[in-house]
Chain A
Amino acid sequence: MSADVKLESVWIRFGDFIAARDVNLHIKGGEFFTILGPSGCGKTTLLRAVSGFLTPSEGSVLIGGENMAGIGPNRRPTALIFQNLALFPLMTIWENITFSLEVNGVRKAQRKKRADELLELIALPGQGEKMVSELSGGQKQRVAIARALCAQPEVLLLDEPLSALDLKLRQHMRTELRSIQQQVGITFIYITHDQGEALTMSDHVAVMREGIIEQVSDGTTIYDEPDTAFVASFVGENNRFAGKVANVTDGIAQVSTPEGSIRARCSKNPDSNVKTGDDVYVFVRPESLRFVSGNSIDNQMKASVYHEEFEGNMWQVFLDISSTRKRVKMSYVNDGSIRSQSGEKDLPVGFSSDAAIVLPQGPLAAE
């Protein structure tokens, strides 16, 4: 069983502070939906509105087509995995997992059986009698997931459940979560400020900034076709050139910047269209920047290498644009064709107009 979740014009206010502004979201049943955003942007708040711990100041939350106004958290078909897990410290693992059955009056024998099944699912068989304090961080994580699944929610809400884990365990848990979701087939709403996590696991990603949903899309679109300057600067790494649009032809804008005239494609989203005279940013991914020879590419400039990092499969090269001393970053795969460029001056670098995107100026993610 899975249900879709709809947020319709949801506003959430804490006094004068607005934690969510006119949020409209439609999360389809059975999908893995991620909300991505910097700390304090209102992700947890949004999730609490879905699970029923707070009532939106305006707008409505619908789960499975049913308006949730006036329905408490214990009567919503949702289960929340808390940012700090909130496992019950005075209960054993199996009691934790089957708490939702206990409060519904299910018999102990039956509960134990269910606990064993779930322990199997989270790869902790036979550990039901332990106490919470006897588990490692990753194991607790899995118990929290099992406890939520045991309630058989139609929507599972996960609030940065992996944030407390080290990198290795995190990567492992990511794949595990994804496979659990595919196994049980319920709707997952997943919160993170780690974009790798968001892009890896999600069917759809919503990027949020200060209570506003900036863009909802699948991972590749978010990365390749950002709608706003914030999304472009928040998701992945981007080199940014500020400038003014000189003219627009066939979806390619001519932008004059201190580094010279740059040709870049316009966004496909009509809301993000630019016209002549607009103040814009041109975004170029480090992997789109490359050393060039001849006139094979639209945008070219001279730059000096001031620092480089060798990562085995990749080179990360940090450059100064010769004309303005603006710093840009370039990444390229180490295929053996280029050796260290350290200290080289005035090398020709460039990028194609297809690889650069022009977006209206607006708020940016913190560096």
Chain B
Amino acid sequence: MIQGRIQNFLVIGFVALFFVYLFGPLIVMGLTAFNTSGFPRVSPWECFTVEWFDVLMEDTRLVTGVRNSLLIGIGVVILAVPIGLAGALMLMQIGPRLRPWLYTVTIAPILVPGVVLGISTLLFWDRIGLMFGAGEDTIFYDGIFLTIVGQATFISAYAMLIFIARLQRFDPALEEAALDLGASHTQTFRKILLPFLRPAIGSAAVLAFLASFENYNTTIFTIVSSSTLTTVLASKVRYGIDPSISALAVSIVFLTLVGAVLYEISKRRETRRARAQMAVARGEATEVKKQRPFLTEPAFILFVLIVVAGLGTVYFSGTVGVEECKIIVKEQRQAEIKRKVERRQQQQMFQSAVDAQSESSSDQEETQEDSKVTAKGTEGYQSVFSPGNLQGEVETEAEEEEPVKGTEGYLNVFSPGNLVNPSSDEPDEEKPVKGTEGYQNVFAPENLTDQVPAENSGN
């Protein structure tokens, strides 16, 4: 009993771990696409935004890369699927003695490293170009053409494997039946074999496209002076990235999910239909009900509604109030800077106090004391060692110069001492402390409406 429960627990734990391993990075990356932070990260979370999608659309290099990737993908599908089909058909036709050899030859490009394929494609077409005396601007040196040809060498082998798997389930008697009924070989191919292969053609096309889209190691050689999504991304990673890359990832994941769900819906339709047909064949039902068109399928409509609602919500919450939020975050950060500056000043003061210890003023002694004993009025320093401060320090060094008029109050925001009235004879708190209490609840929602516009106009 207990053992079984432990076992269950372990299994669930393992599965959870597995999914975290699989999807954790993806989810984190997805979140970074919606953070206003200039570097893709989740923590500290600043503001929810969709602005990175705008940045993405305005990044011409990336957009060109995506466009090229799409072009190449389509080219590869057009080239690799027929080649794969032809290869599979030939493999099924030839004698059993030749088959293993031919199979090995056609499958070889999958086993050859992509880098080698890329280089050899480049060299090969360069030779051919030279043979024709073609110039640099001809097709032999065109990155898109070369990439299509180079990728197709191994992607057509993938396509072939898919077709072989499907063809193995083909009943050759169907072909014979068609011939017997007077169909020519071409008609037999078109009316019998091709419809049978249609699902495989679909899968092969999708696979070919995806394999092409994500390919890097062949492409990097064959793309020459143009760029694809993968090469742009690679260079971006090298020279610094911003969350627009995450935004791109989110878009791709989203499109994939939509595709998967639509596929699942249509597959379920199919299964339902097949089951109904079985029932009829067994004599349990009299006829198969006509299925409603796909666009009125309840599951489909529901899915569209969810997607639209989801997109709407994300768009709305990612555009409305973002600027206000950013200002608050900025102010918070400035407050931290200010506090840091003050700390430095104080340290300097402390230093000078140590230097001139002989003529020490009582005030400074008091300060020295304060740094050891938690005395009244020094609560503001307590938060100096919180990790957030370090981050602020590193990142916003440049902004330190900005004058931060009137933000001193934020210093003590986190200290419980705020609840008590700070003593006014503190040396660093020279400014009138009037109204400091108001900052205590900076994170209270009402601040958004009241204080921020006031600050705004003040600046």
Contact B277 A131, beta carbon cutoff 8 Å: yes
Give the interface centre of A87, A88, A102, A136 by most chain B CB atoms within 10 Å.
A88
Task: Tell me, rounded to whole Å, the shortest Cβ–Cβ distance linking B174 to chain A.
Answer: 5
A79 to B182, CA, bound (A): 9
Q: Which of A58-66, A70-78, A190-198 contacts B (4 or more CB under 8 A)?
A: A70-78
A-B contact count (CB 8 A): 77
A136 to B284, CA, bound (A): 11
**Chain A residue nearest in CB terms to B278:** A133
A207 to B12, CA, bound (A): 67
A134 to B283, CA, bound (A): 9
Interface residues on chain B, number (Cβ under 8 Å)? 26
A99 to B183, CA, bound (A): 8
Residues of A within 8 A of B (CB): 51-53, 72-75, 78-80, 82, 84, 86-88, 90, 99-100, 102-104, 130-131, 133-136, 147-148, 151
Contact B281 A136, beta carbon cutoff 8 Å: yes
Contact A73 B176, beta carbon cutoff 8 Å: yes
Residues of the B chain whose Cβ atoms lie less than 8 Å from the Cβ of A88: 174, 177-178, 192
Task: Tell me, rounded to whole Å, the shortest Cβ–Cβ distance linking A103 to chain B.
Answer: 4
Residues of the B chain whose Cβ atoms lie less than 8 Å from the Cβ of A86: 171, 173-174, 176-177
B179-211 interface with A by 8 A CB criterion: 179-184, 187, 191-192, 195-196
A135 to B274, CA, bound (A): 12
Contact A74 B184, beta carbon cutoff 8 Å: yes
Contact A130 B176, beta carbon cutoff 8 Å: no
Q: Is B280 an interface residue (CB 8 A)?
A: yes
Q: Is B255 an interface residue (CB 8 A)?
A: no
7 A-B pairs with CB atoms under 8 Å apart are A53-B176, A78-B180, A82-B173, A88-B192, A100-B181, A130-B287, A133-B278
Q: Is B288 an interface residue (CB 8 A)?
A: yes
Task: Tell me, rounded to whole Å, the shortest Cβ–Cβ distance linking A189 to chain B.
Answer: 14
Q: Which 8 A-B pairs have the closest CB atoms?
A: A86-B173, A100-B181, A86-B177, A103-B183, A134-B280, A134-B277, A133-B277, A74-B179
Residues of the A chain whose Cβ atoms lie less than 8 Å from the Cβ of B171: 84, 86
Known: A90-B196, A103-B183. A133 touches B281 (CB 8 A): yes
Sample of 17 more A-B contacts, CB < 8 Å, known A75-B182, A80-B176, A88-B174: A73-B176, A79-B180, A80-B177, A84-B173, A86-B177, A90-B196, A99-B183, A99-B191, A102-B191, A103-B191, A131-B288, A133-B274, A134-B280, A134-B281, A134-B287, A136-B281, A151-B181
Residues of B within 8 A of A (CB): 171, 173-174, 176-184, 187, 191-192, 195-196, 274, 277-278, 280-283, 287-288
Residues of the B chain whose Cβ atoms lie less than 8 Å from the Cβ of A133: 274, 277-278, 281
Residues of the A chain whose Cβ atoms lie less than 8 Å from the Cβ of B173: 82, 84, 86
Give the interface centre of B176, B277, B282, B287 by most chain A CB atoms within 10 Å.
B176
Task: Tell me, rounded to whole Å, the shortest Cβ–Cβ distance linking A89 to chain B.
Answer: 8
Task: Tell me, rounded to whole Å, the shortest Cβ–Cβ distance linking A208 to chain B.
Answer: 22
A135 to B277, CA, bound (A): 8
Known: A82-B176, A82-B177. A74 touches B183 (CB 8 A): yes
Residues of the B chain whose Cβ atoms lie less than 8 Å from the Cβ of A99: 178, 181, 183, 191
Residues of the B chain whose Cβ atoms lie less than 8 Å from the Cβ of A78: 180
Known: A82-B173, A84-B171, A90-B196. A134 touches B288 (CB 8 A): yes
Contact A136 B181, beta carbon cutoff 8 Å: no
A130 to B191, CA, bound (A): 19
A88 to B180, CA, bound (A): 13
Give the interface centre of B182, B196, B278 by most chain A CB atoms within 10 Å.
B182
Known: A88-B174, A88-B192. A74 touches B288 (CB 8 A): no
